[in-house]
């Protein structure tokens, strides 16, 4: 029945928060009962985000006033750990940021440049990569760490192969993201249209924060380099990985097909996918090719960073947490052109 789950979106006017509001508007088993914004509190959502037909009035963040079944935290890194002890008394929490993705507080401090102030939650929070996480853990979770957009694309391709022992060396990940991955409130000139259009560049080459997240899930090191492309949405991960002698392209595809059998959002395709193929949808497209001369497999994985890489995956997590069908309220297909 519609409205059975009450949802609060904290940070409702950023790209991921607004995308959560857009998707939840069509969810038959949930209703958004609150959305917060510190800068735009008191304004209607439809005024701050004109593409959303919502009558909600944005409110300042106050955990004491939250009463919900599930709380989406669409805030920057560091926010969740400051408020988690109060929030878990208000509802179950899905954090879109990195505060509970890493299991070790020292690793978090090293990569994020701040001490972790809620380390007692690091072992209890569940890493919510839905297709590859035990559903029983999600159903029992009080706190879910929504994976990063880059790790989602990379792990959907790599983790099944690692689990069956096909990967025999260091994965080299060459990944690209649209500009929306930087968030709506960024003011650096690097993200202006005039700075981005017509160009293409690597960033975070020495140390990108998603590196330990990917490595933790795989149980092995990776080399990860992201790039900014002049597009609004999308993650395109091209992964080069050594595989064993005799491993074939079809063998990799078979592992993926078996892993994702019955899962609505991951497709193994027979063409090299584009980010436009998944734009606006919650799907991931995968394809592989093995070069027998070099012993390298090339894996390609594409997702929409704001949907499968953020808000859509959070709704997937919510659905599993509350025993709803995984695809409830989520678009499988994308938009074109």
Percent of the chain at pLDDT exceeding 70: 98
Residue 196's pLDDT is 86
pLDDT digits (tens, 9 = 90+) for 158-170: 999 999 999 999 9
From the list 49, 90, 149, 154, the catalytic residue is 149
Residue 159's pLDDT is 98
Token pair, residue 93, equals 């929490």
- Picking from 109-118, 134-143, 191-200, 293-302, which range would have the lowest pLDDT averaged per residue? 191-200
Does residue 295 carry a pLDDT above 90? yes
Cα 303 from Cα 152, distance rounded (Å)? 8
Mean pLDDT of the chain: 95
Q: Where are the beta strands (DSSP E) in the chain?
A: 5-10, 30-36, 70-73, 92-95, 126-127, 143-145, 172-177, 201-202, 223-228, 235-242, 266-268, 284-291, 296-303
Cα 13 from Cα 38, distance rounded (Å)? 10
Cα 242 from Cα 123, distance rounded (Å)? 32
Does residue 9 carry a pLDDT above 90? yes
Q: Are 236 and 175 in contact (CB under 8 A)?
A: yes
3-state secondary structure of 187: coil
Q: Are 288 and 249 in contact (CB under 8 A)?
A: yes
Q: Are 265 and 136 in contact (CB under 8 A)?
A: no
Q: Count other C-beta atoms under 10 Å from residue 29's C-beta.
A: 17
Residue 17's pLDDT is 97
Average pLDDT over residues 78-100: 98
Q: Count other C-beta atoms under 10 Å from residue 90's C-beta.
A: 18
Q: Are 10 and 36 in contact (CB under 8 A)?
A: yes
Percent of the chain at pLDDT exceeding 90: 91
CA torsion angle 21 22 24 25 (round to 10): 110
Q: Domain 149-305 has what CATH class?
A: alpha beta
Does residue 1 carry a pLDDT above 60? no
Residue 187's pLDDT is 59
Token pair, residue 274, equals 């584009």
Cα 82 from Cα 94, distance rounded (Å)? 14
Does residue 2 carry a pLDDT above 70? no
Q: Is 49 a catalytic residue?
A: no
Does residue 3 carry a pLDDT above 60? no
- DSSP structure string for 30-72: EEEEEEE-SSSTTSBHHHHSTT----PBPB---GGG---SEEE
Q: Are 284 and 235 in contact (CB under 8 A)?
A: no
pLDDT digits (tens, 9 = 90+) for 236-279: 999 999 999 999 999 999 999 999 999 999 999 999 999 999 99
CA angle (304 as vertex; 301, 305 as ends), nearest 5: 100
Residue 41's pLDDT is 94
CB contact set of 166 (below 8 Å; sequence gap of 6+)? 243, 244, 247, 251, 252, 255, 297
Please give the radius of gyration of the chain, using alpha carbons only, rounded to the nearest integer.
Answer: 19
Q: Which residue has the tokens 């595989």?
A: 243
In the CATH scheme, what is the code of domain 5-124?
A: 3.40.50.720
Does residue 24 carry a pLDDT above 70? yes
Does residue 149 carry a pLDDT above 90? yes
Token pair, residue 132, equals 């590859």
Please report, for the chain, the start and end positions of each structural domain, with discontinuous segments joined by +. Answer: 5-124, 149-305
Average pLDDT over residues 285-297: 97
């Amino acid at each position: 029945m519609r409205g059975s789950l009450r949802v609060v979106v904290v940070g409702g006017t950023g790209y991921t928060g607004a995308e959560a509001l857009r998707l939840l508007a069509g969810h038959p088993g949930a209703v958004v009962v609150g959305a917060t914004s510190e800068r735009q509190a008191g304004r209607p959502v439809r005024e701050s985000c004109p593409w959303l037909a919502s009558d909600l009035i944005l409110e300042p963040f106050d955990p004491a006033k939250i009463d919900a079944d599930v709380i989406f935290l669409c805030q920057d890194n560091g926010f969740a750990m400051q408020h988690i002890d109060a929030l878990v008394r208000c509802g179950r929490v899905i954090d879109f940021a990195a505060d509970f993705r890493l299991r070790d507080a020292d690793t978090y401090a090293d990569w994020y440049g701040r001490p972790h102030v809620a380390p007692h939650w690091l072992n209890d929070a569940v890493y919510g990569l839905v297709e590859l996480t035990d559903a029983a853990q999600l159903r029992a979770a009080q706190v879910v760490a929504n994976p990063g957009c880059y790790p989602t694309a990379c792990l959907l391709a790599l983790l099944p192969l690692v689990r069956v022992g096909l990967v025999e060396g260091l994965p080299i990940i060459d990944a690209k993201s649209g500009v929306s991955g930087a968030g709506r409130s960024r003011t650096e000139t690097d993200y202006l249209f005039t700075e981005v259009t017509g160009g293409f560049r690597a960033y975070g080459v020495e140390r990108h924060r998603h590196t330990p997240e990917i490595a933790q899930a795989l149980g092995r090191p990776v080399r990860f380099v992201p790039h900014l492309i002049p597009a609004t949405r999308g993650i395109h991960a091209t992964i080069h990985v050594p595989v064993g002698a005799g491993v074939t392209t079809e063998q990799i595809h078979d592992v993926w097909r078996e892993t994702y059998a019955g899962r609505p959002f991951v497709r193994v395709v027979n063409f090299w996918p584009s980010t436009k193929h998944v734009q606006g949808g919650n799907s991931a497209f995968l394809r592989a090719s093995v070069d027998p001369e070099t012993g390298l497999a090339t894996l390609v994985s594409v997702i929409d960073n704001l949907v499968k890489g953020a808000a859509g995956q959070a709704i997937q997590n919510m659905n599993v947490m509350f025993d709803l069908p995984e695809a409830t309220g989520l678009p499988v297909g994308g938009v074109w052109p």
